Amino acid sequence: MIEIGVVGKPSVGKSTFFSAATMIDVAIDPRPFTTIEPNTGIGFVRVEDIGFELGVVSQPRNGFILGKYRFVGVKMIDVAGLVPGAHQGRGLGNRFLNDLNQAEGLIHIIDMSGSTDEEGRFIGIGARDPEDDIKFLEYELDMWYRDILERNRDRIQREIRAGKEPWEALYNVFSSLRLNRQDAEIAMKNYDLNSEELPRFLRERSKKIVIAGNKMDVGKAMENYDRLKKNYDIIPVSAEAELALKRASKHGIIRYIYGEKDFEIIGELSDQQRIALEKIRKILPTGVQQVIEHLVFDVLNYIAVFPAGSKLVDKQGRVLPDCFLLKRGSNLEDFASAIHTDLAKHLLYGIDVRTKRRLGKEYILQHRDGIEIVAAK
Ligand SMILES: Nc1nc2c(ncn2[C@@H]2O[C@H](COP(=O)(O)OP(=O)(O)OP(=O)(O)O)[C@@H](O)[C@H]2O)c(=O)[nH]1
Ligand SMILES: [Mg+2]
């Protein structure tokens, strides 16, 4: 499963975002360093389900259907807050970032209302420029990579002396941080092992970042967003609003398709609740779904593909039970091996469930393809 880390300085709303995305209750508090041990759970990306088009009602094995969407799971990790100088041991240090080794992408939560200082203490709305949050955090991530490189430099050099290709020696250390072979090759072609730019290069390639400009419901946030969006890939978010909507939906007060621009009131509620909900309605969408999906589909380049047994059911009779996330550019053979290694070995061809056309092993998968795999017995 794809892994995504939620990072940022203390008190920006990382745990609120995590909780809104995963529907898991975790500690949320204005006091900095509320989270110490990481929280892990499953968040979701939306994919328009293909069942409707095919005239069937899908029965997902994992995830769920809401509205016209299938919600497909991705693993999310919410970690402690990072402060400037963390690599020198300030705050909780940066060792806890090792919990993010397997993360392929990061969601960087910033306080768009500019009301917290570099350590997450409240200093009044608009008192801080959120751009400063972006810069220091990326620097601390680079320092995390630099430390790892320093600890392993001797080992890498030893392997090179023993005859390993330089890229392979580098890859052996950084593959555990999700660096791929190709990027390891580019790194060793362009940088010396002692180069000061190497850690940043490795970090940028193996931990892609999307910025979530959180607390958009607070004054000054819109002003900051309009200024910063010109230079950064930022999505406006109110994690608190998303959490409130999910809770109201769980209690049967509203009907809300997560990520949509509106909701419907269906239950009894107090005047106070109504006022709070109407305030939220003005800032929809909350941005939580949008951030996760932007990272997974646009930045990490995943597409969703539905395996469809004959007549769209699996052996147990479940309708379209699965939906796989695969890298854009994957072919039919990659799809078969994602389902089962044996299936790839005996793969004959695929059938497009919409057109009934035969697809060869080299067929390049498209987003929302539904494919029946035909393999030799
Ligand atoms: N107004 C507003 N407040 C928010 C939003 N998201 C989170 N908060 C508040 O910000 C404070 C900190 O939230 P947390 O989710 O605990 O922040 P964190 O980044 O996990 O903090 P640490 O674990 O201490 O690093 C809490 O009081 C939240 O209610 C938001 O979208 N809008
Ligand atoms: Mg937290």
| Per-residue pLDDT tens over the stretch 32-47 | 999 999 999 999 999 9
Which protein residue's CA is at the shortest distance from atom 9 of ligand 1?
13
The average pLDDT across 235-260 equals 96
pLDDT at 311: 78
310 pLDDT higher than 80 = no
- Give the distance (Å) from ligand 1 centre to CA of residue 29: 6
Q: Cβ(206) to ligand 1 under 6 A?
A: no
Name the CATH superfamily, with its identifier, for domain 302-375. Answer: Beta-grasp domain (3.10.20.30)
Q: Convert the pLDDT of each residue in 68-110 to its tens digit.
A: 999 999 999 999 999 999 999 999 999 999 999 999 999 999 9
Q: Cβ(30) to ligand 1 under 6 A?
A: yes
- φ/ψ of 338, rounded to 5, equals -65, -30
Q: If you write DSSP's letter for every residue of 286-344 in order, what string do you get?
A: -SHHHHHHIIIIIIS-EEEEEE--GGGB-TT--BS---EEEETT-BHHHHHHHH-HHHH
21-29 — which CB contacts under 8 Å span 24+ positions?
21/76, 21/242, 21/288, 21/292, 22/76, 23/246, 23/250, 26/78
pTM: 0.96
Residues 216/222, Cβ–Cβ less than 8 Å: yes
pLDDT at 314: 84
Pocket residue to mutate for ligand 1, from 18, 28, 121, most atoms within 8 A of Cβ: 28
Q: Convert the pLDDT of each residue in 335-360 to its tens digit.
A: 999 999 889 999 999 999 999 999 99
pLDDT at 231: 95
What are the beta bridge partners of residue 210?
Answer: 107
Burial of 341 by CB count in 10 Å (0-12 exposed, 13-18 middle, 19+ buried)? exposed
- Count of Cβ atoms closer than 10 Å to residue 374 Cβ: 15
Q: C-alpha 10: how far from its chain's center?
A: 19
Which protein residue's CA is at the shortest distance from atom 12 of ligand 1?
11
Query: Distance between the two ends of the chain, CA-based, in angstroms?
Result: 28
d(CA 247, CA 253): 9
DSSP for residue 360: -
pLDDT at 327: 97
pLDDT at 283: 94
Q: What percent of the chain has pLDDT over 70?
A: 100
Q: Token pair of 52, please?
A: 């409707």
pLDDT at 341: 87
- Give the distance (Å) from ligand 1 centre to CA of residue 15: 7
Ranges of each domain in the chain? 3-38+79-226, 302-375
Residues 333/362, Cβ–Cβ less than 8 Å: yes
